[in-house]
Structure 1
Amino acid sequence: MITHIVFFKLKDRSPESIERTAQVLRDMEGKIDELRHLEVGLDVLHSERSYDIALVTKFDSMDDLQAYQVHPVHKKVIEHMTLVREASVSVDYES
């Protein structure tokens, strides 16, 4: 299994903006066959070094992760995230 984690820091860090973007991420669930697990977490600490949203996804294989990366539903999410994010970091690992 491959775990893909992305942290997002948004330009607008208001609760409404964060929730709106979290819902965009949640809306991928059930729409991408290769996506085995999707979890969206919102930061509760709100420190200066905190990121606002954590996205945790799991895939059966690297091929499935690659299919997810180019899936039309994910591409629409990327468009949204490009507009709203200040920064993002990711980690991919075998689990």
Structure 2
Amino acid sequence: MIRHIVMWTLKEEAGGRDKAANAAEMQARLLALRGKIPLAVELEVAIGDAIFASVPPTDIVLATTFRTKEDLQAYAVHPLHMEVVEFIKSVVAERRVVDFEV
């Protein structure tokens, strides 16, 4: 199993919305992928400074689990995922990724 963790810092404002509104929209779009891309065994999203106090600056985190590295690679280019990525790119200031075997 491969655990894929993505941590983002959001722009203060983007697309006419503040950081909190964009974080909520980002979370909703990511969670909407659950069950639509079966390659992702688990998909969780969390928002909040208190949660990530030890990993500043992080506004939102995605944690997904895949059976294989190939499943992760296929998910990365899946059309539904790419639609969400376009929105994310428009609101994100910084992105960090960690992948590891579990």
5+ residue gaps, structure 1 = none
One-letter code aligned to 1:27:
A
Aligned to 1:77: 84
1:67-88 superposed Cα distances (whole Å, 9 cap, x missing partner): 1011001111111111110001
- What RMSD over aligned residues (CA atoms) do the two structures have, in Å? 1.5
* Match status 1:34 vs 2:39: yes
Identity of aligned residues (%): 36
Work out which of the residue numbers 9, 19, 27 in structure 2 matches 1:22.
27
CA shift at 1:39, angstroms?
0.4
CA shift at 1:6, angstroms?
0.1
Aligned residues: 94
| Alignment partners' CA distance in 2, 1:18 and 1:44 | 12
Aligned to 2:49: 44
* Match status 1:65 vs 2:72: yes
After the TM superposition, which segments of 4 or more aligned residues of structure 1 sit over 4 Å from their partners? Answer: none
Q: TM-score by structure 1 length?
A: 0.90
Aligned to 2:97: 90
Q: TM-score by structure 2 length?
A: 0.84
